[in-house]
Amino acid sequence: MPLYRTEGICLRSYELKEADRIVVLLTRDQGKVRAVAKGVRRPGSRLAGSLLPFTHSRLLLHRGRELDKVVQCEAVFGFRALREELERMAAASYLAELADGFLGEKDPNAGLFPSFLASLHLLAGHPDLRHALVLVQGLLLASLGYRPELDICVHCGADLEEGREAVVYHPGEGGVLCGRCGSERKGRGTMTISRGAWQTLRRLWATDPGRLTMLRPGKAVRGEMETLLRATMIHRLERRPKTLDFLDLVLRESE
Amino acid sequence: MLYPKTIARLIEELCSLPGVGPKTAQRLAFHLLREKPERVEALAAAMLEAKQRIFSCGVCQNLTDVEPCLLCADPARDRSSILVVEEPKDVLALERTGEYRGSYHVLHGVISPMDGIGPGALRIGELLERLKDGGVKEVILATNPDVEGEATALYMARLIRPLGVRTTRIARGIPVGGDLDYADEVTLARALEGRREVG
Ligand SMILES: [Zn+2]
Ligand SMILES: [Zn+2]
């Protein structure tokens, strides 16, 4: 069947010819899909409003050889705050860039869509955006299977010792190092985080996504979590996300 | 297919133009090769002359071949209002309406975080400079009503408001000749927000 129905979230779009756009969609059951939206840049296009970035919509798509085509589209939820509040828009752009960068085309991932949708709700509505950013990065890594190893040393497999001293984390190796391996590799792509941040990260990935907002790290711990999550994203993406400069700029100005 | 070096180079150069893929570039290249030499010379001369003689106006940043541009030099234009647009072509579109008698400012782009384009890449500093002497009473933000245009407008409003200059955003709503039923919910919501007294 060349026609198929799905739900999707527009991650971004590119202008195409005079009045069209290529939209990059995260769909519920087809993974990432690139589709042409005809005439969507003309005023009054029926498709335009429901294909704005970060809009959750119901779609009827036509499968094509290179690109699919949007036949019908109806918005389910518009996430206006993500387009009309600068900090939230920047945060959603960051999340969308990550999802777009991590996903191959039409590689279904059943857990990702609901988790991404929950993340957009957090970014749109959470009273503390920096807090929400930590949560959504955690959710994204978990649903992609990129959750770092925090319990045992990724190098020698030893359980992480109890204690109060800082924990060594290696984004490149995807987890923590024990005291011995950590001191051997110090400075070679490692970073250290406090026990508090380590504990909170473990709790972040052990908590049911629906209850994540109960997790309320203090400012210092949250900053450490953010640093670790970003380093992990950059390592996985193999580049610095383009959206980060703008995100940092608007977050700094809103302080 | 292997072309002589000169043709391959022409195709490659054409390929660097926006919206031109390898196939179109190839078609254009062969079209040029079939044309009379004077036609091709005229095209090349027009491109070169435009490139050499056109620059951005030191005031409004619009493209011009005189300094300041004709709009900025026109004594009939109201200098107390500046309408901010993304691209030079937007100035033309607004001039065609014949409704606006103020001055313009062209940003030459729009904030696009996904493309790594931040406010520093736009002519925002030049606009703030124009607001310094206090002669400007209103800045109208007329960037496109898409995500990037909104972000740019929001960002600029933040910079301009503290200067005590009235900052407005063009209204958005149902297009003329459009059907209510045909409009999406975002457009409808905004049209409702932008309602005004009648009669
Ligand atoms: Zn070890
Ligand atoms: Zn000018």
What's the average model confidence in pLDDT over A109-122?
Answer: 94
Whether residues A86 and B182 touch (CB distance < 8 A) is answered with no
The number of C-alpha atoms within 13 Å of B51 and in the hemisphere containing its C-beta is 6
User: Is the Cβ–Cβ distance between A241 and A95 less than 8 Å?
Assistant: no
User: Which residue has tokens 């993406």?
Assistant: A237
Look at residue A75 and give its three-state secondary structure: strand
Reported for B84-89, long-range contacts at CB under 8 A and 24+ positions apart, including other chains, are B84/B127, B84/B139, B84/B140, B84/B141, B84/B142, B84/B143, B84/B156, B85/B142, B85/B143, B86/B110, B86/B143, B86/B144, B86/B149, B86/B152, B88/B62, B88/B63
pLDDT of residue A48: 82
Listed by start position, the domains of chain B span: 5-53, 56-197
Structure confidence at residue A161 as a pLDDT band (50, 70, 90): confident
Output the average pLDDT for chain B: 90
| Residue A22 at interface with chain B, using a CB cutoff of 8 Å | no
Is the pLDDT at B62 greater than 70? The verdict is: yes
Considering only CB atoms, which chain B residues are within 8 Å of A17? 19
- Residue B64, classified by CB atoms within 10 Å of its CB into exposed (0-12), middle (13-18) or buried (19+), is buried
| Residue A97 at interface with chain B, using a CB cutoff of 8 Å | yes
Is the pLDDT at B93 greater than 70? The verdict is: yes
Pairing of strands B138-141, B78-85: parallel
- Rounded to 5 degrees, φ, ψ at B80 are -85, -5
> How close, in Å, is residue A83 to chain B by CA atoms?
6
Q: How far is CA A9 from CA A32, A235, B8, B17, in A?
A: 10, 25, 41, 31
pLDDT of residue B183: 67
Task: Take residue A57 and report the two structure tokens written for it.
Answer: 């919509």
User: B56-197 — its CATH code?
Assistant: 3.40.1360.10
Q: How far is CA B104 from CA A53, A155, B61, B140, in A?
A: 29, 61, 9, 9
Is the pLDDT at B1 greater than 90? The verdict is: no
- Picking from A49, A75, A242, the nearest residue to B113 by CB comes out as A242
Q: Which ligand is nearest to the CA of B62?
A: 2
pLDDT of residue B176: 66
pLDDT of residue B197: 76
Q: Which residue of B has its CA nearest to A86?
A: B151
What's the average model confidence in pLDDT over A143-155?
Answer: 94
ipTM above 0.95, yes or no: no
Ion ligand 2, residues whose Cβ is below 5 A away? B 57, 59-60, 68-69, 72
User: B5-53 — its CATH code?
Assistant: 1.10.8.420
- Picking from B114, B119, B175, the nearest residue to A93 by CB comes out as B114
Residues in Cβ contact with B81 at an 8 Å cutoff, skipping those fewer than 6 apart: B102, B103, B136, B137, B138, B139, B140
- Please work out, in degrees rounded to the nearest 5, the angle formed at the alpha carbon of residue A92 by the alpha carbons of A91 and A96: 120
Separation CA B87–CA B75 (nearest Å): 23
Separation CA A42–CA A54 (nearest Å): 20
Whether residues A97 and B182 touch (CB distance < 8 A) is answered with no
Separation CA A188–CA B180 (nearest Å): 61
Radius of gyration of chain B (CA): 21
What's the average model confidence in pLDDT over A8-14?
Answer: 95
- Picking from A44, A80, A246, the nearest residue to B111 by CB comes out as A246
Is the pLDDT at B60 greater than 80? The verdict is: yes
Considering only CB atoms, which chain A residues are within 8 Å of B184? 46, 48-50, 75
What's the average model confidence in pLDDT over B13-27?
Answer: 90
pTM above 0.80?
A: yes
- Picking from A84, A243, A253, the nearest residue to B113 by CB comes out as A243
Separation CA A10–CA A21 (nearest Å): 12
pLDDT digits (tens, 9 = 90+) for B130-166: 999 889 999 999 998 888 999 999 999 999 999 999 9
pLDDT digits (tens, 9 = 90+) for A48-98: 888 999 999 999 999 998 899 999 999 999 898 998 899 999 999 999 999
| Residue A9 at interface with chain B, using a CB cutoff of 8 Å | no
Q: Which helix (H) or strand (E) holds A26?
A: strand A20-27
pLDDT digits (tens, 9 = 90+) for A17-49: 888 999 999 999 999 999 999 998 887 787 888
Q: Give contacts of A 147-176 with B, CB under 8 A.
A: none
pLDDT digits (tens, 9 = 90+) for A119-144: 999 999 999 999 999 999 999 999 99
The more confident residue out of A250 and A84 is A250
Is the pLDDT at A167 greater than 70? The verdict is: yes
pLDDT of residue A41: 84
pLDDT of residue B199: 60
Q: What structural domains does chain A harbor? A: 3-77 (2.40.50.140), 81-148+193-254 (1.20.1440.120)
User: Is the Cβ–Cβ distance between B170 and B157 less than 8 Å?
Assistant: no
Considering only CB atoms, which chain A residues are within 8 Å of B146? 52
**Cβ neighbours around B43 below 10 Å, total:** 12
